[in-house]
Amino acid sequence: MDDSLPTSSFQRVEDYSFSFAAIQKRMAVLERDVLVTKERRGEEQVMHANGPTIAKAIGLLDQYETRWMDRADRITDVPTTVNEGE
C-alpha cells in the first residue's frame, strides 16, 4: 500500500483488524487536531495527511523528548550530588 495516496477509512479497515467504528473514532480525533483533512468523493470520504501540521507536531514531540531526556539525566546526577555534600 502506498501511504502517499489518499485512503478511505473502509480501505484501512480491510488492511488491519480494526472495526470501522474504531477507525472512524480515531480519524475524527486526527481531523479535530487538523492532522488530516477529509474529502468527500461520492459516498466515500477520503482522508489526506496534513503534512505541515504533522511536521510541526513531530518537532514539538522532539522538543519534549529532549527536555525529558535532559531531566532524566539530571535525576541520575542527584544521588552523586547528595553523597558529595555529606
Specify whether the CB–CB gap between 34 and 53 falls below 8 A.
yes
- pLDDT at position 9 over 70: no
CA distance 35 to 19: 21
The C-alpha cell of 1 is what?
A: 500500500
Cβ-contact 46, 8 below 8 angstroms: yes
* Domain definitions of the chain by residue range: 1-49, 50-80
Asked if the model's pLDDT at residue 73 lies above 50, the reply is: yes
In percent, how much of the chain has pLDDT > 70? 72
**Do residues 49 and 4 make contact, with C-beta atoms less than 8 angstroms apart?**
no
20 alpha carbon, distance to own chain's centre: 20
